[in-house]
Structures are given as C-alpha cells and as structure tokens.
Structure 1
Amino acid sequence: MEIETDIQRIWADLEWLANKPRPAESDRLEECRQYCEQILNSAGWQVERRNFEAADSAGTSRKGINLVTTSANQAEGGAKFILGAHLDSRPETPGADDNASAVAVLLEVARLLGPELTADAAVSTPVQLELAVFDLEENGMLGGAYHAASCRAAGESVCGMVSLEMLGYCSEKPGSQTFPPELADRFPDTGNFIGIVGNQVSDPLIRHFSRAFNSVPNLPCESLQVPDNGLTFPPTRLSDHSPFWDEGFAALMITDTSFMRNPHYHLPSDTPETLDRGFLHNVAEGVLRATRKIVTDGLR
C-alpha cells in the first residue's frame, strides 16, 4: 500500500507550532489558530470558529475557541466521525509532542482528504468527517467538553470520535516504557508503539484503528479498553476524548502514552528535536488510512 502522508509537511507544521508556548488565551495561541485555519481553508475546508466560556478546575472562567470543519459528503441519514486534537500548550513548554505533533497530523489528514471530501462534486459517503482543533485542553479538556455537549444537545449521530494526543515520541530502549503496576505485565516495556485507548462502547473503533496501524510497516500498536469511562484509571481520561465518553459516545485516544514514556512532558525541553520523525510519519499514515476507510465504508 502506497504511503501518502508527507513527513516534510508534517514536520514543518510541527516546528512552526512548537516555536514557543501556546497557553490559554495567549496571542501566540491565536497565531497558531490562524495558521491552522489557513491550512484548512487551503485544503478546501470551511472553518467555523466556535467560541465558548467555561470554568477550569480552579473555578477560573476561561474563554476558548474551537475550530470545527465538516465535509460536504454526507449521505442522507449518515453518521459523523470526529477527528480532533488540542492546540493549546502549558505556559512553560513549547509543546512539540504535547500537542503540536497531533495537530500536525490532523492538518496532514485535512490536506489529503480535503480534495476528496470538500469539492462540489464530492461523492456521497456513509460517514461525514468533522475535524476539530480543540482549545483549553490543558485547563481540563474544556474545548472537548464543550464540543461533546454540543453534539449531544443537537442529537447528532456520532459513530465515533478520536482524540490525537501526543504522537511523536518513540524509544527503542528496553525499559523506556512504564505503566502502573496493574498494567505492567500486559504491555511491552519498550516505548516504540502507538497506543489506542477506548472505553466500554468503543470496540468497533479499537478494532478499526488497530487494523489501520497494523497495515503500516514498522508501526507496533497496542490497545487498551477500560470500563466505566476510565474513571477507575484516570490517566486514560487525559485528553478530549473523555468528555465524549461521558456523553455516551464511542471515542478513542491515540497516543504515544505521554508521561509514561516521554521524559519531556510539560517541560521546556518538549521540543521537536526530541521526537522521532519516522515514528510520527508512520502514525500519521495509520490515522489517514483509518479515517478514510471510516468515511468511505462506514465503521465495521
């Protein structure tokens, strides 16, 4: 199967976004938001800014802006698939892995699928694709929560949601991957795989993305399904998929496992040169394959 994603474009986006921190409500975050809008528009997507206000865990009122764009290819009565990644970073880090790596992959998917799904002559497909660039994830998944609640309130048929969360850190060194004791015997201790995390209603999504990643050469993949929306294992809830779980939707987090592998998590040292270009390229290709197949064939 031909590789379609381009690591040069992905890496250029990552480096631009991770040039400096992108904290909540900052001018730099707005610059990065405009950068994403420009790329999405150029690929044929119509981008909508969705403003919201929510209180963070400390009770501070925060203002955020999600970028949302939807393909024009939906068949009558079809469902929607949401692919998202958060743009904001913590104030102390440029956030190359967290989460510029994921946004760069989202933008690459947008470039490649835009011509197929956004043209006036786009072929009607079973599933409509919605891309979302979330805000205020670092303040408590506020952007994801706003969007999930909006989907539920509107009664939208969402066949699945995927949150891309830290995709670029890889290590071939034994012992580089850690897990809590209850999981340590179930997974490899070498941090060279991409992780899929789903909840109790996400079986089809887990199987679908596992197949897509396994179709990419040299991309190990491991999956974890948690009960009770991950409430008994809080690390599995640390991205914008968890509000979708709470609203009753099937959702996944695709991740390099964050602080269980990447020693630069939430530090000034989370910079592009710490990431693995080949690994990120393979992950991007897997995400593209999985997303395209859901849209064209439905979730099976």
Structure 2
Amino acid sequence: MTARKRAASSWSITATTTSSACSTCSASRISEASLSLPRKASLTRSGQPVKRVPLAILLVVATIAAWYFTRGPKQPETGTRVPFEVISADLAGQFSGEKAYSQVKALVEIGPRPPESDGYEEALVLLEKEFASQGWETQRQTFTKADTVVGAKSFTNLLARHSAGERDWNRSTPVVIGGHLDSKLIDSFKFVGANDGGSSTGVILELARVMATRPADAAKVEFVLFDGEEAFLPDITPADGLYGSKYYAYAISNRATWPSLGIVIDLVGDSRHGFYYNPEAPPSFATTVEKVAAETGLQLKRPPGPIIDDHVPLQNTGLPCLHLIGDFMNMPYWHQPGDTMEVIDAKALEQAGRATLKFLAEVKP
C-alpha cells in the first residue's frame, strides 16, 4: 500500500459526486488520512496578531518548513501529467474588474457561507448557474470528515470544466485554478467574508467568462471552489482547516492523468496592502509572476515565511503551484465584521485576474 493511497480512520471519508453533465454518476467511497502540513514559521491565519516566539523554536520550525517546502515534486503513481500549453496572450485585456466586483457582491448578499449552511448551499446554486451560463459544466465533490475538531462535518467542493475540454472527470486538465468559497464560522457576529473567500470567487467567475470566449483555452483549465478552507478553531493547523483542498488533492492524485500547474488565489479584493506569492514556488513561476505583476500594477512582495493555504495540499501531491494572497496581516478587518463590500476594490480584482491570465500566457513550468 503506497503512502498516497493509505487508508486511515482520521479521514473516514464518504465522497458523493454529482455533475451537471452526469446526474446519474454513482457515489464513490474513499478513505484517506489528512495530508500532513507544517505549522507556519512566521505567519498566522487566525484573527490575532503574530506573537513573538523564542528564537530557538523559530529556528526549528523554520528548518522543518524549509525542508517541507523545498522537497522535490513527486511523480504521478497512477498516470501521467497532462502537458501544459500557454493560453492566448490577449485574454488578459478582456478581464473586467467591474464584472468581478458584481460577482463578489452577489455572493456577499447571500450572507455567511460556512460549511453545511443554507448560505453555502445557496452560493453553490448561484455558482452553478453562473458557470453554466458561460458553457462550463460543474461537479459537486461532497465528502464527510468524521473527526474534525468539532466532530463530523460534510463539505462540498465545486469543480468546473468547459464543455470544449476533457469530459472524463477521472482525467485532468493541464491547469487547476482554485480559491475557497466558504466563510469562517463566527458565532459572535455576522461574517460575510467579502474579501476572504468572496474576492477569489468573483475573480474565478470572471476568469471563467473571459476564458469561455476562447474554448481552446478554456479546455485547458479546471476551476475548483474549495469548501472548509477556514479552520473551525482560530488557526489553520495540520488538524483543522483546508478540508476541501486536502480532499481535492487526494482525489486528483488518484486520477488517470494529473494536472501540470496549479494556481490558488485568496484575499485579492483589496490592493491597499499588497499581495504575497509563495516563496517556495518554482523559479520560473516567481520570475513570471513578478514580471506580470509589474505589467498589471499588482503590488507584489514575498512573505516573511511560508503561508498555509489551499495551495499546500496541492503542492504535497507534487503539483507546482502559484499562490497569490493579499497581505492579511495588515488587514484590520480580517476575520472581523468589517470584511464587507466596503473593502472590495474593482481595480484590485482586475489586477489579480489580469495577472493570472498573463501568467498563464507566459509561464514556462
């Protein structure tokens, strides 16, 4: 039994997949241990300020993180990677920040979107309609984790592929573009996550609209909206958070073919604080994203240490990823009531969307 396919009671997952293209697809049953993730060496994804940690502990954690993030990519055990080809260079100019803003606004009007909530289901229905209107077929990837930190919970990722592309969901497209759809569950106030979860979803929907104008390019991409990115407790840890991306990573690693490139975006609706990209990205990714950021006006910077987000489970499968995230440490409204449409800037959404498209038009993995 390989490490990739080991069964463990820590997940105890039942996955039910439904598709707009195949409403009669049978349920599949998968058990898999949650992917092991390091704690961040210097950044936290809770709503609290970064605390000072003794230097000796930081050095140990940093060493572990450095080892983790610099491991060589694995190769598919069950198939081969689908070769990557760049997309058309002129697509970036078609991305509309105003249209992306409208998508974020429609999502925020639903209200909070934590896992298993009516709001999350309403968001799924909204996205399915939006994708379908642009020629994209969707698939719900539903699973249950029996032992989250708050007990058994069900989650649903939403996948989308263009009708011009690969129709077999057991085979991958060359590119995966993802972001989380859920909002953090906070009982003390109404949290709608306009930037945290909403902005990336709006950008993805606008990317889908733009790419649909070139079916040959749209065929190269699978979009995924992750559920359960947010931890139930304050911090994302190896035991809490990234539930949807961990499951998705396991699922794609067991397909007949694998993607060649991944992009994950998060908190991209506010340009006032700048954006981070993952320091462990391949050198060609770093060079390309720095170039396209300068061309699109995106204020880009390297974080002081690794950030745990939905790209990490994908990287754990050996998939080279670009992670683009707003500087949440300097956002006073992060995980606070103020994360509303008032902080969303159409210009920031446009910069993030155009940078993503230009990256796909120029990168050489």
- TM-score, scaled relative to structure 1: 0.77
Task: Give the equivalent residue in structure 2 for 1:222.
Answer: 301
Match for residue 262 of structure 1? 331
Aligned residues: 256
- Contact 1:56–1:142, Cα closer than 8 Å, also in 2: no
Instruction: State the superposition RMSD in angstroms.
Output: 2.5
1:30 counterpart (121, 140, 151): 121
Question: Equivalent pairs: percent with the same residue?
Answer: 24
Aligned residues of 1:134 and 1:144 also touching (Cα < 8 A): yes
Shift in CA distance, 253/25, structure 1 to aligned 2, threshold 3 Å: same
Distance in 1 separating the partners of 2:364 and 2:154? 35
CA–CA separation in structure 2 for the residues paired with 1:236 and 1:55:
26
What SS is found at the alignment partner of 1:82?
Answer: strand
Shift of 1:214: 2.2
Structure 1 residues not aligned, in runs of 5+:
172-190, 227-232
Deviation string 1:116-139 (CA, Å, 9 cap, x unpaired) is 12xxxx47x9x8211111111113
Aligned to 1:42: 133
After TM superposition, give the deviation of residue 215 of structure 1 in Å.
2.0
CA radius of gyration, larger in: 2
Per-residue deviation, residues 88-119 of structure 1 (Å, max 9, x unmatched)? 001331100101011000000000102312xx
Report matched runs for 1:1-300 at 5 Å: 3-19=93-109, 20-55=111-146, 57-58=148-149, 60-71=151-162, 72-73=164-165, 80-92=174-186, 93-117=191-215, 122=216, 128-139=220-231, 140-171=241-272, 191=273, 193-199=274-280, 202-216=282-296, 218-223=297-302, 233=305, 236-237=307-308, 239-258=309-328, 260-291=329-360, 293=361, 299-300=364-365
Q: Which runs of 5+ in 2 are unaligned?
A: 1-89, 232-240
Describe the SS at the equivalent of 1:106: helix
Q: Deviations over 1:23-81 (max 9, x none)?
A: 1110111111111111111111111111111256515221111111234446xx99621
SS at match of 1:91: coil
Measured against aligned partners, the alpha-carbon deviations of 1:249-275 in whole angstroms (never above 9, x if no partner) come to 2123211122x1211111111001123
SS in 2 for 1:137: coil
* C-alpha separation in 2, matches of 1:275 and 1:41: 26
For residue 299 of structure 1, report the CA deviation from its aligned partner: 3.2
Alignment check: 8 A CA contact 1:160 1:205 kept: no
Find the residue that maps to 1:84 and give its secondary structure: strand
Residues 125-174 of structure 1: per-residue CA shift (max 9 Å, x gap)? 9x821111111111311111111111112253321211111101232xxx
Paired residue secondary structure (2:307): helix
Paired with 1:49 and 1:299, the residues of 2 have a C-alpha distance of 31
Tell me the equivalent position of 2:21: none
Residues 171-212 of structure 1 deviation map (CA, whole Å, 9 limit, x = unaligned): 2xxxxxxxxxxxxxxxxxxx2x3221142x633333333332
Whether the 8 Å CA contact 1:67–1:134 is kept in 2: the answer is: yes
Cα distance in 1, alignment partners of residues 358 and 134 from structure 2 = 18
